[in-house]
């Protein structure tokens, strides 16, 4: 008999954070899945496990005799059986299956019958002939879902991109981001660099990193960056809301590498940074979809209380289907042009009066088409009325000792005439947005911002009431939000 306390703990461990993402009760008691992490990678395994649990499958975190179906990816029959043997087998022996059985079952919404083609295949002897991938150049021409077959490669390239960005090397940062985005769009795992011949956006540096990881399992540059004092300090300090790479760099040069040293240094902090430091742990804990929904309910109430008919839309990563994010982004508008004027201060006052804001800073709308014209402002900051805030989210009493937690919340108000552009611009991903603007400029002679689309040759603004119309103006196939995860 397992003591009650332990049982409880392992129960919550089973569902983990995805309980909030709506885990269904087990629908297929005769099927117990185990996903083999080897070759699949930890993040893809976590993604697939969550997917299966949402569809009502039981997925075990650890292998045991209860497991009926072992799901593998890029593992040969020999390797699979070797691994199973090392686990002491399991009685009766579970199915050793390729991920194709899993994908078909997810699609069917039930465990499909195990066929020959689902069994792990033997690798043909000798060097396998690897097929070359082919992909469109711009990320906005491609479909990039959250399912990433190359997460160990893209994690590595993203870390190098992040390091470049933290060191104010934007060009290098973009190059690594483009390379990572390309690999995210591939239909299967890369097995050898020969498959990448002829792909766009893969610079010599990125290729070198990919090759080393494919051959040895890790990249020395990535590992030394990850371990470097400077990278760790930049990460820790920019993890404070209100602290950018420049400030972090200055502090590091003054000998400040972590929060403790910052607190002891007597540095003068601005209001945002003081709030950021105070709520550091909360803000650096990912926001779940359930938390975003809870905040949406409050903001919806605020918005409709201060202006009848005003509407809000969840944008950012959550609109792309992500299950967690670093903040929550909402767009606010009203179907009658002009009614949205002055809305933000009222919404903010309502939230403040109810005690929902731990910090807020509102910037007013500074975009005027007649004055500003089509050019977009430096960087991709747009000029909507915008509120950066830290939201005080009440926490369900039984799930925590605390009554609330802090969550980063961004609010943006857009006039309805610009709403489609605002929605497209605020849905991301950041690289997808960057690529849309690059495509517009280089391929179409147009300027795209979160406010408008301007045709430079004809000298006219192109109006749009939906995202679909903007893609049409740009001569691009429509890519839905869930496939903009470049």
Q: Which residues are catalytic?
A: 327, 329, 410
433 makes contact, choosing from Mn ion, ligand UTP, none, with CB < 5 to 8 Å by partner type, with ligand UTP
Peptide bond connecting 476 to the previous residue in cis, omega within 30 degrees of 0:
no
β pairing state of 453-455 and 446-448:
antiparallel
Cβ density class 387-418: b for 16+ within 10 Å, e for less: bbbbbbbeeeeeeeeeeebbbbbbbbbbbbbb
Query: Using CB under 6 A, which of 162, 165, 291, 433 touches ligand UTP?
Result: 433
Question: CA-to-CA distance for 264 and 121, rounded, in angstroms?
Answer: 60
Which CB, 242 or 428, lies closer to ligand UTP? Answer: 428
| 385 touches ligand UTP (CB under 6 A) | no
322 makes contact, choosing from Mn ion, ligand UTP, none, with CB < 5 to 8 Å by partner type, with ligand UTP
Query: Using CB under 6 A, which of 162, 382, 385, 467 touches ligand UTP?
Result: 382
State both tokens at 139.
């990320």
- Torsion angle, CA of 313/315/320/324, rounded to 10 degrees? -110
Question: CA-to-CA distance for 456 and 445, rounded, in angstroms?
Answer: 6
| 456 touches ligand UTP (CB under 6 A) | no
80 makes contact, choosing from ligand UTP, Mn ion, none, with CB < 5 to 8 Å by partner type, with none
The verdict on whether residue 249 carries a ligand-binding annotation is no
Determine the straight-line distance between the first and last CA of the chain, rounded to whole angstroms: 48
Query: Using CB under 6 A, which of 55, 142, 149, 322 touches ligand UTP?
Result: 322
Q: Which stretch binds ligand UTP (CB under 6 A): 110-118, 141-149, 342-350, 378-386?
A: 378-386
Contact yes or no for 70/95 (Cβ under 8 A)? yes
Per rule CB under 6 A, count of chain residues that contact ligand UTP = 17
425 makes contact, choosing from ligand UTP, Mn ion, none, with CB < 5 to 8 Å by partner type, with ligand UTP
| Helix residue ranges, H only, 354-456 | 369-372, 419-427, 430-444
Peptide bond connecting 404 to the previous residue in cis, omega within 30 degrees of 0:
no
Residue closest to Mn ion when measured from CB atoms = 316
The verdict on whether residue 372 carries a ligand-binding annotation is no
| 433 touches Mn ion (CB under 5 A) | no
Burial zone of 106 (CB within 10 Å; 0-12 exposed, 13-18 middle, 19+ buried): middle
113: nearest Cα among 129, 125, 130, 101: 101
Which CB, 249 or 329, lies closer to Mn ion? Answer: 329
Please tell me the total number of residues recorded for the chain in this structure.
Answer: 486
Q: Min. distance of Cβ 314 from Mn ion in angstroms?
A: 10
The verdict on whether residue 329 carries a ligand-binding annotation is yes
| 380 touches ligand UTP (CB under 6 A) | yes
User: In the window 311-330, what residues touch Mn ion (CB under 5 A)?
Assistant: 316-317, 325, 327, 329
Residues at the binding site for Mg(2+) are 327, 329, 410
| Contact positions vs ligand UTP (CB under 6 A) | 316-317, 322, 325-327, 329, 380-382, 425-426, 428-430, 433, 450
């Amino acid at each position: 008999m397992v003591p009650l306390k332990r049982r409880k703990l392992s129960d919550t461990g089973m569902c983990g954070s995805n309980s909030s993402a709506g885990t269904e009760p087990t629908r297929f008691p005769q099927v117990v899945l185990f996903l083999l992490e080897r070759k699949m990678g930890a993040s893809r395994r976590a993604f697939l496990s969550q997917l299966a649990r949402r569809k009502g499958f039981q997925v075990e975190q650890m292998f045991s005799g209860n497991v009926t179906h072992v799901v593998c990816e890029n593992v040969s029959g020999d390797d699979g059986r070797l691994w199973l043997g090392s686990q002491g087998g399991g009685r009766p022996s579970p199915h050793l299956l390729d991920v194709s059985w899993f994908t078909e079952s997810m699609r069917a919404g039930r465990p499909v019958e195990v066929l020959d083609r689902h069994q792990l295949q033997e690798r043909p002897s000798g060097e396998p002939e690897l097929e070359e991938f082919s992909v469109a150049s711009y990320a906005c021409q491609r479909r990039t879902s959250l399912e990433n077959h190359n997460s160990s490669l893209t994690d590595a390239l993203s870390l190098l991109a992040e390091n470049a960005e933290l060191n104010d090397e934007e060009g290098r940062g973009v190059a690594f981001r483009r390379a990572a985005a390309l690999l995210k769009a591939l239909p299967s795992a890369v097995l050898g660099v020969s498959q990448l011949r002829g792909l766009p956006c893969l610079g010599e540096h990125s290729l070198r990193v990919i090759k080393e990881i494919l051959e040895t399992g890790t990249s020395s540059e990535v590992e030394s960056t990850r371990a470097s004092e400077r990278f760790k300090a930049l990460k820790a300090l920019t993890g404070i809301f209100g602290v950018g790479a420049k400030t972090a760099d200055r502090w590091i040069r003054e000998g400040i590498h972590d929060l403790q040293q910052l607190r002891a240094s007597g540095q003068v902090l601005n209001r945002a940074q003081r709030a950021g430091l105070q709520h550091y742990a909360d803000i650096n804990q990912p926001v779940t979809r359930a938390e975003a929904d809870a905040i949406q309910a409050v903001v919806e109430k605020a918005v409709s209380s201060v202006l009848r008919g005003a509407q809000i839309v969840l944008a950012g990563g959550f609109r792309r289907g992500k299950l967690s994010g670093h903040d929550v982004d909402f767009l606010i508008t009203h179907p009658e042009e002009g009614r949205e004027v002055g809305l933000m201060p009222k919404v903010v006052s309502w939230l403040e009066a109810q005690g929902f804001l731990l910090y807020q800073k509102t910037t007013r709308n500074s975009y005027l088409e007649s004055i500003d014209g089509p050019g977009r402002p430096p960087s991709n900051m747009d000029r909507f009325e915008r509120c950066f805030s830290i939201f005080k989210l009440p926490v369900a009493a039984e799930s925590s000792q605390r009554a609330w937690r802090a969550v980063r919340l961004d609010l943006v108000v857009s006039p309805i005439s610009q709403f489609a552009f605002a929605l497209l611009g605020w849905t991301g991903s950041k690289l997808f947005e960057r690529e849309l603007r690059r495509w517009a400029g280089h391929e179409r002679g147009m300027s795209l911002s979160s406010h408008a689309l301007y045709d430079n040759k004809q000298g006219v603004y192109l109006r749009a009431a939906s995202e679909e119309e903007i893609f049409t103006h740009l001569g691009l196939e429509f890519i839905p939000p869930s496939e903009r995860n470049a």
